[in-house]
């Protein structure tokens, strides 16, 4: 699993073109369809503890917390889980500025451990593609299912085999900003259906002269990381959800919100917990 050690410092800079607001709006719409609402839309009567958990949301692979903050702003009680301490440090800095009541946990999703159930789990921005073995996907789905409130839902996305194989595999992407630059080299391993990408990141910093500490000059620090992601098909993901005890509800192309096609690069899946009985 990748930890985004060096990239964490510049992650938000290079992700400023990601439509987080659009994603948050989509998730909010789906959640409300299943009766999972922000505080302002809940019934006025006091909720018991179990009913309160129904409106808690797990953001699995929350990264620097941008989407977590948006869903919290929409009135949801949020739990953010990520395996990168560096990414969570930035998420907690955002929490300190916003004053929002968000719980962050540093955990590998393969060892997910919560303190109670949640009404829904969301996982977007290809988090699940970091799971390279099919057994790992089923195991993570089973853990999510275990922590879902009776009838709770799991909304996730994933990059397809088509995207890695035909769109970004063996492509090099470079970007230069005022404060940082990166080179992203993709290498697609067709037989394993795994995309390897090597990141080289340069971050501007201020360094003082050892003889005259008051004199500062620009210095670029270099970071290198290697990440691995595996592409999956919708058929595989449906199979994984069912093996984990979840009920597949529907899937859609993440870009068009229409039907999934052979050229879909990223797919949304909605699955539902279906085996627990509500207490009381």
pLDDT tens track of the chain, all 280 residues?
555 666 777 888 888 889 999 999 999 999 999 988 877 665 544 444 445 567 899 999 999 999 999 999 999 999 999 999 999 999 999 999 999 999 999 999 999 999 999 999 999 999 999 999 999 999 999 999 999 999 999 999 999 999 999 999 999 999 988 888 989 999 999 999 999 999 998 888 766 666 555 666 678 888 889 999 999 999 999 999 999 999 999 999 999 999 999 999 999 999 999 877 654 4
Residues 91 and 103 reside in one and the same domain: yes
Same domain, 127 and 264: yes
Integer Cα distance of 270 and 32 in angstroms: 13
Task: Classify residue 171: in a domain, yes or no.
Answer: yes
Q: Helix (H, G, I), strand (E, B), or coil: what is residue 274? A: coil
List beta partners, residue 188: 195
SS3 state of residue 157: strand
How, if at all, do strands 118-123 and 56-60 pair?
Answer: parallel
Total domains in the chain come to 2
- Note whether 265 and 190 are same-domain residues: no
Residues 236 and 224 in one domain: no
How many CB atoms neighbour CB 87 within 10 A?
A: 26
CATH number, residue 183: 2.20.25.110
Residues 156 and 252 sit within 8 Å (Cβ to Cβ):
no
Residue 181 lies in domain: 163-230
What pLDDT score does 208 carry? 61
Rounded to two decimals, the pTM is 0.89
Same domain assignment for residues 44 and 84:
yes
Counting runs of H as helices and runs of E as strands, what totals does the chain give? 8, 11
- Are 257 and 26 contacting, i.e. CB atoms less than 8 angstroms apart? yes
In a domain, 280, yes or no: no
Bridge partners, 250 (sequence order): 270
Q: Is residue 2 part of a domain?
A: no
Q: Which residues, 6 or more positions from 213, have their beta carbon under 8 angstroms from its beta carbon?
A: none
User: What's 124's DSSP letter?
Assistant: -
Report CA-CA distances (Å) from 266 to 4, 36, 62, 274. Answer: 22, 25, 18, 26
With residue 267 as reference, give the H or E element that holds it.
strand 266-273
Same domain, 261 and 171: no
Task: Based on the fold, state whether residues 172 and 194 are members of the same structural domain.
Answer: yes
Q: Do 11 and 37 have their domain in common?
A: yes
Please report, for the domain that includes residue 124, its CATH number: 3.40.50.150
The β-bridge partners of 229 are 195
Looking at the structure, tell me whether residues 264 and 249 fall in a common domain: yes
Helix ranges, the chain (H): 11-14, 20-33, 49-53, 66-73, 85-98, 134-147, 161-162, 234-243
Same domain for 225 and 242, yes or no, is no
Q: Is residue 278 part of a domain?
A: no
Tell whether 101 and 141 lie within a shared domain.
Answer: yes
pLDDT at residue 38 in the model = 78
201 and 238 share one domain: no
Identify whether 279 is part of a domain: no
pLDDT at 220: 80
Q: String of b and e for 140-173 (b: at least 16 CB within 10 Å)? A: bbbbbbebbbebbbbbbbbbbbbbbeeebbeeee
Tell me what pLDDT residue 50 has. Answer: 44
Please indicate, yes or no, if residue 265 is contained in any of the structural domains: yes
Q: Which residues does residue 268 pair with via DSSP β-bridges, in sequence order? A: 157, 252
């Amino acid at each position: 699993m990748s930890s985004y050690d060096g990239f964490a410092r510049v992650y938000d800079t290079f992700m400023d073109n990601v439509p987080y607001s659009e994603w948050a709006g989509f998730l909010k719409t789906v959640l409300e369809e299943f009766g999972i609402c922000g505080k302002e839309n809940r019934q006025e009567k006091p909720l018991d503890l179990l009913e309160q958990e129904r409106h808690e949301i797990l953001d699995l692979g929350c990264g620097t917390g941008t989407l977590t903050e948006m869903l919290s702003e929409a009135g949801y009680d949020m739990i953010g889980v990520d395996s990168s301490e560096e990414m969570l440090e930035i998420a907690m800095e955002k929490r300190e500025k916003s004053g929002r009541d968000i719980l962050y946990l540093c955990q590998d999703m393969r060892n997910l451990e919560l303190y109670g159930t949640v009404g829904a789990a969301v996982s977007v921005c290809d988090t699940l593609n970091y799971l390279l073995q099919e057994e790992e996907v089923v195991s993570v789905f089973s853990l999510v299912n275990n922590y879902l409130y009776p009838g709770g839902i799991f909304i996730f996305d994933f990059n397809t085999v088509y995207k890695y194989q035909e769109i970004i595999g063996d492509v090099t992407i470079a970007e230069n900003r005022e404060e940082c630059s990166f080179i992203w080299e993709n290498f697609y391993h067709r037989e394993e259906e795994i995309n390897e990408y090597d990141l080289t990141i340069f971050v501007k910093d201020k360094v003082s002269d050892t003889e005259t500490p008051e004199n500062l000059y620009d210095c670029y620090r270099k970071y290198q990381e290697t990440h691995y992601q595996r592409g999956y098909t919708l058929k595989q993901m449906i199979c994984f959800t069912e093996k984990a005890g979840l009920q597949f509800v529907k899937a859609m192309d993440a870009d068009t919100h229409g039907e999934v096609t052979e050229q879909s690069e990223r797919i949304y899946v909605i699955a539902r917990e279906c085996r627990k009985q509500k207490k009381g």
